[in-house]
Amino acid sequence: MITLYGMHRSRATRNLWLLHELEAEFTLKPVVQAYRLEARGIDPSAADAPFNTRSAEFLKLSPAGAIPVLEDEGLILSESLAINLYLARKLGGPLAPRDAREEAQMVQWALYGATAIEEPALEIMFAYAKGETEGGQRIIEANADKLQRPFAALEAHLETHSHMVGGRFTVADINMAEIVRYAQPHKALMAAYPRITGWLELCQARPAFKKMWANRETEPA
């Protein structure tokens, strides 16, 4: 049985979206981020604290103390993009690579998203979450500038491809869409890249994404 440790308000969204797409059987074991408990005045190390990223039992699975973590037949994986690539291969179907060529392209885009897009996109999301401030606007604009080059590369790819890999919706789309989503609150940036925007809207219109997102909305912020 596939067990996923994490919360919807984390990078586990990528894994939950994929699992819903494939209608896979799995168990979600909630693990609260320690910083969320501290923000509520709860000591993560207290004996009565909820299961969290600093709990001794969780640290046995993830010494880094980060979610999500996948446990499957003795295999432990602790990086969300790697988890998705593994699950797509294991469970098969249209989300999986059809051959070594497609697998290489899926890995390429996952690495590109993680290294070139995710960090500045997250900074944009965090700045918007804190509300409109002068300092926040500077952060947004600085990180939007950092995204110009990778977004231009992604836009160019989507000019000649309907999806990230193979001309169909795959795990590569889930992985990239969940990275690009972090920059989505910056409407001026998204408007400058209409193909990225259209592709992202199509991805987020899928029932599995909507199911994941509805569950996410029920969790405390």
pLDDT confidence band for 132 (50 / 70 / 90): confident
Note whether 177 and 202 are within 8 A (CB). no
10 pLDDT higher than 80: yes
Amino acid at 18: L
15 pLDDT higher than 80: yes
Write down the pLDDT at residue 162: 98
pLDDT confidence band for 22 (50 / 70 / 90): very high
Q: What is the DSSP string of 39-76?
A: HTT--TTSTTSPSBTTSHHHHHH-TT--S-EEEETTEE
CATH numeric code, 100-209: 1.20.1050.10
Q: What is the DSSP letter of 163?
A: S
Q: What is the DSSP letter of 131?
A: -
Write down the pLDDT at residue 88: 98
- Give pLDDT tens digits for 25-70: 999 999 999 999 999 999 999 999 999 999 999 999 999 999 999 9
Write down the pLDDT at residue 131: 86
> CATH 1.20.1050.10 occupies which residues in the chain?
100-209
| Fold adopted by 2-94 | Glutaredoxin (3.40.30)
Amino acid at 203: C
pLDDT confidence band for 221 (50 / 70 / 90): confident
Which tokens in the block code for residue 188? 């001026």
Write down the pLDDT at residue 220: 84
Global pTM reads: 0.96
Instruction: Provide the mean pLDDT of the chain.
Output: 97
> CATH 3.40.30.10 occupies which residues in the chain?
2-94
Write down the pLDDT at residue 149: 98
Write down the pLDDT at residue 58: 97
Which tokens in the block code for residue 8? 């919807």
163 pLDDT higher than 90: yes
168 pLDDT higher than 80: yes
